[in-house]
Chains A and B, each alone.
Chain A
């Protein structure tokens, strides 16, 4: 009896200790991150204004705004996602639903994606420059930048989508085939909606990575800060702008902080919409 009690108190103690450690870790992380965000806000908020968002940069970015850079950034992101998402998600679906996990084909694709995830972004930049800009003749352009970024996003999007699809309970698939649904129907109506939140989370991770990228874009989408007319124009991405202002332009710190703040805000908006959308999709598809 006493022994039982001892085990019980030991368990409670352990439970308390673990809870304590987890809360300490979370507080620590929050503190450091809020510190960084506060630093950003303090440095940038004074420089932020409506004009900053609607004007083009002047005097190497020290004056004026970031309108043209925002447009370029969004275009690059759009190109990257439109190319990478279909390829990544189809690969993930194939790997999970149609190919046994230990088949040579599955292994090869998975392995190459892991390796791709570890290529430093600057190597992607040099590759994009050699392949898209020069070999395919796209020149320094938003298209080259977006395609380069798409290569970079492939592993992130695929491996998160794969994890999401694998987590869909097996019962779903069994019930679907018991009901005589085709594989495609089961996928579209059941499995994909069930995995939607995870797909969305992966998408967000990818978008975050894409918006934050500098090195890969320096050699591909380029440095031109003019408002782009077409996808074949060169356009400077926001993260590259921040890098240039903080590392290359004396007196560029204030607009750099402000741009970083805008970037964070942009990301927050994208996150909230994507999450809302994913949850909506999940509910509607599975309920009806």
Chain B
């Protein structure tokens, strides 16, 4: 199986590469449109700032490439946010796969710290990514912006308010949490994605 990771300016992809290797997959990290288009699966991970990331994607024409993909793609963390229509972070238009807006967490109590960091539960999981899940599982999150609940929501997590912990539309899958850092739960999610 050919697995490609989208190479752009939003960093820390090492842990995604390691996680895939532990599942027996050797991913290629590339910004070559032909390689991305010919991969069986594409991962779009990352951490970083949305407007910088979008600027880079447009400059390298990766926005068109990502939108044109028809094989399963998995956006992770900022990857999920960039697949949305618009982000409050840097007030930037994003890829528009998911027709919704990315917002910043607004704490309502002192205990609500931003970023939302740590292990939190996944509810209402409804996607092949969560195949075999029988109970509420914990996943690892680090983020200050969130995607509200919308028709594409594929799992919910509650922090300050319920938000989209995962999303899906057609071949586009995404998680706000980091499956590559979510222990055995994350491994099952990545394995489910690779088996799509």
A and B found bound together = no
